[in-house]
Structure 1
């Protein structure tokens, strides 16, 4: 049985919400793909970036982490601003800024300029992405919403895999002599098309009774995420200096202060940045709990396999990217069947997906153990395809579940909470599983470090399977 938010009644309006047509849905899904593609597209480009800009390992980690941390820290604020000023307006501004910052990344003359542009690019994505889910939530109902959310989930998962494949192809193609810069410059024409479409077909929506921005909550959330993500992403490369340990020690206090301030604001009748009353929704709360280990494992695997295939197995960027093509193909086709499966079997599909993904990761680990260092598309194909199918049974359905009971008036807040959880977990996966792998390599060798990391990921997959047993049987 689903729960409802009882802390405060949300005023409603009798006016019918503007409809989101097919082309409008395509436009917002295109925007949803861009930030996720850019999170993963740099993985296979890092060696080329390091060689061209003479950037060390710590600087390259900043290229990845700067984007991810800025993105995660500002996502909830982006959702709130969309509620306040109009989601279409924030969408257009965020997308335009994303295009400009992508251009700045592609033209960066040195490593520090690239890091600064990546931070700005992450902030732009945080203004754009929450408006996608909030718009879907506010402009669709019933079966149309279920289909739109399933397509959003499929787009999210496919973007993560396709980003890494596309990165390898672009680096190797060396389009017009741009080399690694093309992985950023490719965003510019896509953004131009997206802006033209959005101006024509994206409806304007906003909360009927928007609340002012929660300034203190925003600062405390940013502090909480930074104290956790910054030391985990930079600690190993920097040699774990004192500031990393002090930052990690400060994290529980920062998180506790954030939660206390948000709960006090919620109880007093104001709308905090992350309303604790919103977490009273069983579907949202349990879906978020499942999303954390799934996203940590997903991003950690993508980062580790890119390093292992290029630095260990000696593959170039194209073969390293194409080794994951079976995962992308399987994800695409299985995710298309997701709505029918979830309608027939309910959330048991998510549990089955965990089991299938676990089998796929075991097959990849077995291939690494047996064939190292001669890994290629053929040896990884069975495991990658099975893992992709399992992921497709989980991610789109969990994303749909999280937003299923969020009231349209709180769509911006709900989408901000969801994508912040997802993005923070993606960044955490690179930091934790990536750090584990790189720490084990000098001690165990590349093959054994890869297999050990995959077994750790498998433990996370088992956890997602157990958590999925607590999901509501049906998704509305």
Structure 2
């Protein structure tokens, strides 16, 4: 009788359509990466047409990120339990429908509701991307795949403002800002049809019921932590923001206690805490947090510096970031396909130092030239920063997931994405102390003269975060299990099909 081989079994045949399936999930990841930032460029047009208040605009931009961050862990676990392909397709369908809602919204209330729902659908869709990659590709191909993934994410993050600027300026079909959402419709429909055909289904061997208590506790704890970090600066840090962040600690502690108890009773926890016993996973989460923190501080300060401090148009500001995107793509591909297989962890540490050097160089240029800095001078330090970030982002994902059993790929993926989102939220919150602290009180538009000094001050904190990541990377193994060795020999694949 032939052996029954599940898609995630180590003895299962390699999926011949895996590269086509990869294209589908990467398009979904790209859509999310773009949608995180694309709306910022269109804020003036949205406010003018819909009459949205300042508070509503803040929630239109922050509501997506908040719903996304809160749902990632649950979304990843749902894929483990009920099928990664199934949950991915539900997420893509929901993301497409909510994009339509945002695109046709005639008032700020509907647009806000659409953005929050869009973030929730992204939380179903995005964790499946990494978990589908993890269970679909054999170890000897994952280096190349994660290099491609890192390049696509880098492109999406930097393309958001540029895509938004172009769509708003083109005013397609006289729709003003609406195409920034409507452009997702053809991509979503194509992704839904292609995904249903190309992606192979996979899920945990023993599909237990969802840990509802864990979902409630995790969501409540993260909400109490992330909401103040997301909205605190705009609200002037009232007392409730501090109380909420302090209160999140016992709630998250209760969540950890519940997960341990559930696992001891033989249940299926939302987060498999034993994953943190693996150096690659635990250390990688810390680096991911610092990476998100550095991004949160840099991109907010950089955007305000270029558009308000230097008076550049959204399109010019977006174009100035293209070297960063190109360098990140090059670094991601080079690290996974050439450098990491030969040199291992030291490549990531070199990337951290390179990114820190880029930020220090940018700080020196901003300090010396002030508001007279030229376009090419703002581009120059973005090259080492982009290369450094690219050298980190792709292999870090591979290292984090390298020792994760297929059984828990979704949970690990959701937690990894949540860590990044949390880091970015902390980074944006720190900007109130770092960037806006240097800027002084009052509307940023009235503090143009202080922008270069505030931006310069922020960059040293970003450089410090990358230096801290360099140190923390020592916690990771020198090589990812299963990567080619220095002699070119590929380690034998030994992945358990079940949880350890």
Q: TM-score, normalised by structure 2?
A: 0.88
Task: Return the offset for 1:243.
Answer: 2.3
- Out of 111, 131, 140, the residue aligned to residue 108 of structure 2 is 111
CA contact (8 A) 1:57 1:237 kept: no
Match of 1:451 among 442, 446, 456: 456
Deviation at 1:375, TM superposition (A): 4.2
Q: Give the C-alpha shift of residue 99 in structure 1.
A: 0.9
Using the TM superposition, give the Cα deviation of residue 284 of structure 1 relative to its aligned residue in structure 2, in angstroms.
0.7
Note if 1:63 corresponds to 2:60: yes
- Aligned equivalent of 2:88, options 75, 87, 91: 91
The answer as to 2:22 corresponding to 1:25 is yes
Deviation readout 1:192-251 (Å, 9 max, x if unpaired): 221121122111111121121111111111111111111122122223233222212212
Match of 1:129 in 2: 126
**Distance in 2 separating the partners of 1:241 and 1:448:** 27
Structure 1 residue 145, shift from structure 2 partner: 2.3
| Cα deviations by residue, 1:390-435 (Å, 9 ceiling, x for unpaired) | 1001111111111111111211111121112122223332333266
**Deviates further, 35-44 or 207-216:** 35-44
3-state SS in 1 of match to 2:380: helix
Greater displacement, 178-187 / 455-464: 178-187
Partner residue in 2 for 1:142 = 139
Q: After alignment, is 321-330 or 154-163 more displaced?
A: 154-163
Partner residue of 1:164 out of 158, 161, 170? 161
- In 2, distance between residues paired with 1:418 and 1:99? 24
**Equivalent position of 1:467 in the other structure:** 472
**Larger CA deviation: 386-395 vs 58-67:** 58-67
Match of residue 360 from structure 1? 358
Seen in structure 2, the aligned counterparts of structure 1 residues 423 and 236 have a Cα distance that, compared at 3 Å, is closer
- 1:301-316 equivalent positions in 2, closer than 5 A: 301-316=298-313
2:222 equivalent to 1:217: no
Correspondence for 2:444: none
Greater Cα offset, 280-289 or 447-456: 447-456
* Cα shift readout 1:266-311 (whole Å, capped 9, x = no counterpart): 2332221111112111111111111101111113312221122112
Q: Compared with structure 1, are the counterparts of its residues 20 and 303 closer, same or farther at alpha carbon in structure 2 (3 Å cutoff)?
A: farther
Query: Structure 1's 341 and 12: CA in aligned 2 closer, same or farther, altered over 3 A?
Result: closer
CA distance in 1, matches of 2:373, 2:173: 31
Task: Give the structure 2 partner of residue 257 of structure 1.
Answer: 254
Structure 2 residue 325 is matched with structure 1 residue 320:
no
Q: Does 1:120 align with 2:117?
A: yes
Q: Secondary structure at the match of 1:410?
A: helix
The aligned residue for residue 194 of structure 1 is 191
C-alpha contact (below 8 Å) 1:309/1:375 kept by paired residues: no
Answer whether contact 1:157 1:396 (CA < 8 A) is retained.
Answer: no
- The unaligned stretches of length 5 or more in structure 1 are 1-10
Structure 1 residue 368: Cα displacement: 2.1
* Residues 335, 396 of structure 1: 8 Å contact kept: yes
**After superposition, what is the alpha-carbon deviation per residue over 1:100-158, rounded to whole angstroms, capped at 9, x for unaligned?**
11121222223232221111001000111111111111121121222222222222233
The alpha carbon displacement at 1:190 in A equals: 1.3
Structure 1 stretches of at least 4 aligned residues deviating more than 6 Å after TM superposition: none
Query: In the alignment, which residue of structure 1 is the partner of 2:50?
Result: 53
Cα drift, residue 17 of structure 1: 6.5
Matched, 1:154 2:151: yes
2:5 equivalent in structure 1: none
Number of paired residues?
466
Structure 2: 5+ residue runs without aligned partners?
Answer: 1-7, 442-446, 482-500
* Corresponding residue for residue 6 of structure 1: none
| Cα separation, 2, equivalents of 1:280 and 1:73 | 24
RMSD: 2.0
Deviations 1:3-46 (A, max 9, x none): xxxxxxxx968654745521111111111222122112223333
Structure 1: distance between partners of 2:251 and 2:353: 36
Deviates more, 1:432-441 or 1:127-136: 432-441
Cα pair 1:153 1:400 within 8 Å, conserved: no
1:237 counterpart (227, 234, 242): 234
The alpha carbon displacement at 1:329 in A equals: 1.2
Q: Output the CA distance in 2 between the equivalents of 1:441 and 1:52.
A: 30
Are the counterparts in 2 of residues 63 and 114 from structure 1 also a CA contact under 8 Å?
yes
**Distance in structure 2 (CA, Å) of the matches to 1:435 and 1:121:** 30
Closer, same or farther: CA 457–56 of 1 in aligned 2, 3 Å: farther
1:43 and 1:303 in contact (8 A); partners too: no
1:8 is aligned to: none
Distance 2:108 2:372 in 1: 33
Partner of 1:175: 172
1:431 maps to 429
- Deviation readout 1:50-101 (Å, 9 max, x if unpaired): 3433444433322222111111111111112112221111111110110111
Alpha carbons 1:167, 1:321 under 8 Å: kept: no
Asked whether the 8 Å contact 2:210–2:270 carries over to 1, the reply is: yes
Alignment partner of 1:334 is 2:331: yes
